[in-house]
Amino acid sequence: MHFRFTTTIRPVFMAIALLLSGAASHGQTTPVTVAVGPVNPMPAGAIQISRLMDVPWANLPPGSVVLVGPGNQPGPVTITSQGTAAQPITVRAALATQPPIIGSAIDFQGAAYVKLKNMVVDGSPWASVVVRRGSHHLTIDHNTLRNSDQGLSISDGAGTGHQITNNLIEGHRTGGIGIGLVNASPTDRTRIAGNLIRNNGHHGIELNASNYLVEYNTTTGNGMAIGGTSGIHLYAKDAAENSGDDNIIRYNFSYANHDRIAYDGNGIQIDQWCDRNVVENNVVWGNDGAGIIVFDASDNRVVGNTAIGNMRDPKRGLWGAGELIVSTFSPAVDRTRNNLIANNVLVSTRADVPALFVDAATNDNPNTIGPNFMSNRQGGWLLQRGTGMTRVAAELDALAGTTGNLGTAVSFMDEANPLGHGMRLQHTPPGLGVRLPGMHRDMMGGAPLKGYSLFGAYYTAPGL
């Protein structure tokens, strides 16, 4: 990396060079503290610099801390620092209550073990935060990313092991979080967790990638400008592309997502050629499209989710409608097979929308449909599978091809407060669902105990 040396930044390089010239104990270089802008109080021994973009990132020793004072900072800011697992480099607001505002991208290139915390990026012509070119094991935590082309982009040969946590990501022209052809390691997954992702032009989260863990996020109001949107979208371009597989999507809220142009607006979509994913213990409601859709995808596990009041836009039924949809593009593609769709609570609030829809082209494929807990509050279809339809609970097992399906009314603890875990079942249902290998805890951390009902995102204790 080449720097333009000015009278402002030359002392910084000289100070860091002096520190690097002396080895600390155990052969490690002594970490430094860099104070950018108006930092008060100034830490003892801190190196002062006026602009974040002028920090000599490549020279920072592991364990160093960059404190950024309040106010506006120009960009883009290209971070190439290399920390270690034991001594990460931290870049954070000096005062969490007065975060600096960066007016262009924070661009990680070849960086490792760097933590970005309590920063604001507003109005970048690119993504607010870019992770690329071998960058691995970054932590992007408690930041506000807004009003840029995209929220956070992981692409262009980035590495694995990132933690994208507890960020507010809103108002971007395209998507909130976009992963472009960067597969994580199955033993060192990138984790996207605890983020509020809202009011973006396209997807809340798009995984054109494999082996990611997506949990405890809230995606809402996305799809404001671009068609084909979902709150959480798993994607592969074609059968040859190695992406969209082996992801874990759990414990998320996805609601009120839109598609103002095309026919989606789903809460969660497993799209074509996306296989072996786990979608479990999510709550999805009030989306323009389906709560959850499995579309030309194989060997996925969609279990223990709660969906209510989706398909809000009646135009979204071009290829069928349902709280949960299992379908294919056409009989010529017809690769929706070996999926497990079980233990879900599916509540339709429209007479013309089945709680669960399996299209005719998919119907003769080897998928396991059920048991599920289905309800239609307008007296419409509970299950449509191929050309068969039923409104009658007693007919569900025969049509689904599994036992233990339920078709009675569903009542929740506090339906008006889904974000406060109000979508727990108010009463113990007349069935337990099916106990599956590798079952995890539910949306609130409850264990799948003996005798509990396993329907929905929250396990239900006996005797309620």
Same domain, 164 and 218: no
Cα–Cα distance for residue pair 352/378, rounded to 1 Å: 9
Quick one: pLDDT at residue 22? 44
Domain limits at 50? 1-173
Residue among 47, 56, 57 at smallest CA distance from 6? 56
Chain mean position to CA 119: 20
For residues 306 and 425, membership in a common domain is answered with: yes
Residue 215 β-bridge partners: 193, 250
pLDDT in tens, 292-332: 999 999 999 999 999 999 999 867 655 689 999 999 987 77
* Each residue's pLDDT tens digit, 6-61: 334 455 555 555 554 443 334 458 999 999 999 999 999 999 999 999 999 999 99
Residue 320 has what pLDDT? 81
Average pLDDT along the chain: 93
Residues 96 and 182 in one domain: no
Spatial neighbors of 453 by CB under 8 A, at least 6 apart, are 425, 428, 429, 431, 432, 433, 459, 460, 462
Question: Which pLDDT tens digit goes with each residue over 227-241?
Answer: 999 999 999 999 999
Q: Are residues 50 and 164 in the same domain?
A: yes
User: Are 241 and 206 in a shared domain?
Assistant: yes
Model confidence over 83-122: pLDDT tens digits?
999 999 999 999 999 999 999 999 999 999 999 999 999 9
Per-residue pLDDT reduced to its tens digit, 356-373: 999 999 999 999 999 999
Q: Which of 151, 462, 439 is nearest to 303 (CA)?
A: 439
- Is there a single domain that holds both residue 218 and residue 302? yes
Q: Is the pLDDT of residue 3 over 90?
A: no
**Residues in contact with 93: Cβ distance below 8 Å, sequence separation at least 6, in sequence order:** 67, 68, 70, 99, 100, 117, 118, 119
Domain boundary among 130, 150, 173: 173
Residues 263 and 358 in one domain: yes
CA 189 from centre of chain: 13
Among 247, 306, 264, smallest CA distance to 281 is for: 306
Concatenate the DSSP letters of all residues of 39-101 into one string. -SSPPTTPEEES-GGGS-GGGPPTT-EEEE-SEEE-S-EEE--B--SSS-EEEEESSTTS-EE
Strand ranges (E), 265-410: 266-270, 278-280, 283-285, 292-295, 301-303, 306-308, 324-327, 340-342, 345-348, 356-358, 368-369, 373-376, 383-385, 388-390
* Count of structural domains, the chain: 2
Per-residue pLDDT band at 263 (split at 50, 70, 90): confident
Closest by CA position to 207, among listed 305, 278, 138: 278
pLDDT of residue 408: 96
Whole-angstrom distance, CA of residue 260 vs CA of residue 271: 19
User: In the predicted model, is pLDDT for residue 65 greater than 70?
Assistant: yes
The residue with tokens 């113990």 is 428
C-beta separation of 313 from 335 below 8 A: no
Last residue of a domain, one of 173, 188, 211: 173
- Considering the domain architecture, whether residues 80 and 205 belong to the same structural domain is answered as no
* Residues facing residue 145 across a β-bridge: 121, 169
CA 167/CA 197 separation, integer angstroms: 8
Is pLDDT at 1 greater than 60 in this prediction? no
- Residue after which a domain boundary falls, among 132, 153, 173: 173
Q: What are phi and psi of 363, to 5 degrees?
A: -55, -35
Look at residue 464 in the predicted model and tell me its pLDDT. 84
Q: For the chain, what percent of residues have pLDDT higher than 90?
A: 89
Q: How confident is the model at residue 156 (pLDDT cuts 50, 70, 90)?
A: very high
Same-domain status, 319 and 338: yes
- Looking at the fold, whether 59 and 148 belong to one and the same domain comes out as yes
pLDDT, tens digit (0-9, with 9 covering 90-100), for 158-194: 999 999 999 999 999 999 999 999 999 999 999 999 9
The β-bridge relationship of strands 120-122 and 100-102 is parallel
Spell out the residues 6+ positions from residue 70 whose beta carbon is closer than 8 angstroms to its own: 37, 38, 93, 94, 95, 98, 99, 100
- 345-348/324-327 β-pairing: unpaired
Tokens 């760097």 identify what position? 114
Say if residue 404 is in the same domain as residue 283: yes
Instruction: Please indicate, yes or no, whether residues 132 and 227 belong to a single structural domain of this protein.
Output: no
